[in-house]
């Protein structure tokens, strides 16, 4: 897998180098199937497990990039987005002259299914509040973050995916976690993680935030608004994206003036990976 620079305004686009450079844009209309991971499909061509890379790209403020891939599955790596963040930083980030485009949320959009809930609301910046409630040993965790490259890199990127050991055989039989191992996921026994210490006390809910950022990238542009999620998952995340995009009165394409920047001068400008292609294993 390689990350290549793309012109301002082009967004995030996957390219299958093993299929004549067939391209699939990371946008809601290409969402294929969603269960334990998010996949994209166009004209029968699949890209699977997109959420961790998309999360790293949005988290690090990359707007435009071509993700060149020679097979259908993105590497799972250590189960977090940290190796992707390192690759992006290694390749370098280049600020483009064009103002960054945002999807600015204008009114609440919500999806509820049983006790699962997700909603997005008008508000400045990109803020996420997530609550999970899993069986022991995880229990209930809640976190909220204000997304900026610094907070993403330090607080979210390293959070790994997780799975219960009790579910493992069943999931493996269903072909759902082909590659899962203690190297790429937190393996949970009855008393807690079986493979070493957690990277954060609340690593589980932080990983859900990581997934959410990756799935909401499928809105096609960075979101300006506040997201609240409770017991959600990939299916709820992508359902919110399609509900939001469908309701044209709920959002507008906006550009934030550079002068309004709170962090740094380049904040309002779009960005792309550096001239050196960022390389990933697998
Ligand atoms: Zn994940």
Peptide bond just before 137 cis, omega within 30 deg = yes
Give the C-alpha separation, 190 to 135, whole Å. 10
Output the pLDDT for position 259. 44
% of the chain surpassing 90 pLDDT: 69
Output the pLDDT for position 278. 58
Output the pLDDT for position 280. 55
Residue 169 pLDDT exceeds 80: no
Output the pLDDT for position 271. 75
pLDDT in tens, 40-82: 999 999 999 999 999 999 999 999 999 999 999 999 899 999 9
Residue 200 pLDDT exceeds 50: yes
Output the pLDDT for position 167. 80
Residue 1 pLDDT exceeds 50: yes
Output the pLDDT for position 95. 86
State the chain's mean pLDDT as an integer: 88
Q: How far is the CA of 205 from the centre of ligand 1 (A)?
A: 11
Output the pLDDT for position 98. 83
Output the pLDDT for position 59. 94
Tell me the mean pLDDT in the region 227-238. 96
Listed in sequence order, the residues at least 6 apart from 111 whose beta carbon sits closer than 8 Å to its beta carbon are 117, 118, 119, 236, 239, 240, 243
Residue 258 pLDDT exceeds 70: no
Q: How far is the CA of 14 from the centre of ligand 1 (A)?
A: 19
Q: How far is the CA of 274 from the centre of ligand 1 (A)?
A: 26
Q: How far is the CA of 257 from the centre of ligand 1 (A)?
A: 33
Per the residue annotation, which of 207, 226, 234, 237 is the catalytic one? Answer: 234
Q: What are 255's strand-pairing partners?
A: 101
Output the pLDDT for position 11. 93
Give the C-alpha separation, 272 to 125, whole Å. 20
Write out the H or E segment, with its range, that includes residue 47: strand 45-48
Q: How far is the CA of 265 from the centre of ligand 1 (A)?
A: 32
pLDDT in tens, 173-190: 666 555 557 889 999 988
pLDDT confidence bin for 262, thresholds 50/70/90: very low
Least confident of 21-25, 147-151, 247-251, 258-262: 258-262
Catalytic residue flag (residue 234): yes
pLDDT confidence bin for 150, thresholds 50/70/90: confident
Residue 267 pLDDT exceeds 70: no
Q: How far is the CA of 161 from the centre of ligand 1 (A)?
A: 5
Phi, psi of 146 (to 5 degrees): -105, 115
Phi, psi of 266 (to 5 degrees): -85, 0
Output the pLDDT for position 264. 41
**What's the predicted TM-score (pTM) here?**
0.91
pLDDT in tens, 80-137: 999 999 999 988 888 888 888 899 999 999 999 999 999 999 999 999 999 999 999 9
Show the domains of the chain with their CATH numbers.
2-277 (3.30.1700.10)
Residue 4 half-sphere exposure, CB side, CA atoms within 13 Å?
Answer: 12
CA nearest neighbour of 224 among 122, 74, 93, 154: 122
């Amino acid at each position: 897998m390689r990350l290549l620079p793309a012109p301002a305004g082009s967004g995030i686009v996957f390219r299958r180098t093993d299929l004549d450079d067939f391209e699939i844009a990371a946008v809601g209309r290409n969402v294929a199937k969603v269960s334990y991971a998010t996949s994209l499909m166009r004209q029968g061509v699949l890209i699977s497990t997109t959420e961790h890379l998309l999360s790293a790209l949005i988290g690090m403020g990359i707007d435009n990039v071509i993700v060149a891939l020679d097979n259908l599955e993105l590497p799972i790596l250590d189960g977090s987005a940290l190796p992707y963040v390192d690759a992006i930083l290694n390749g370098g980030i280049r600020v483009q002259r064009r103002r960054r485009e945002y999807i600015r949320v204008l009114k609440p959009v919500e999806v509820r299914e049983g006790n699962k809930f997700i909603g997005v609301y008008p508000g400045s910046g990109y803020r996420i509040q997530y609550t999970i409630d899993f069986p022991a040993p995880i229990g209930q965790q809640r976190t909220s973050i204000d997304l900026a490259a610094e907070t993403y890199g330090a607080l979210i990127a390293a959070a790994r995916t997780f799975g219960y050991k009790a579910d493992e055989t069943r999931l493996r039989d269903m072909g759902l976690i082909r590659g899962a191992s203690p190297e790429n996921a937190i393996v949970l026994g009855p008393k807690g993680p079986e493979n070493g210490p957690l990277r954060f006390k609340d690593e589980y809910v932080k990983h859900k935030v990581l997934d959410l950022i990756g799935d909401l990238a499928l809105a096609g542009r960075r979101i300006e608004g506040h997201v609240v999620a409770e017991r959600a998952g990939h299916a709820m995340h992508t359902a919110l994206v399609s509900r939001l995009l469908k309701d044209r009165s709920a959002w507008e394409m906006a550009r934030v003036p550079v002068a309004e920047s709170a962090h740094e001068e380049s904040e309002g400008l779009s960005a792309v990976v550096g001239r050196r292609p960022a390389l990933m294993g697998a």
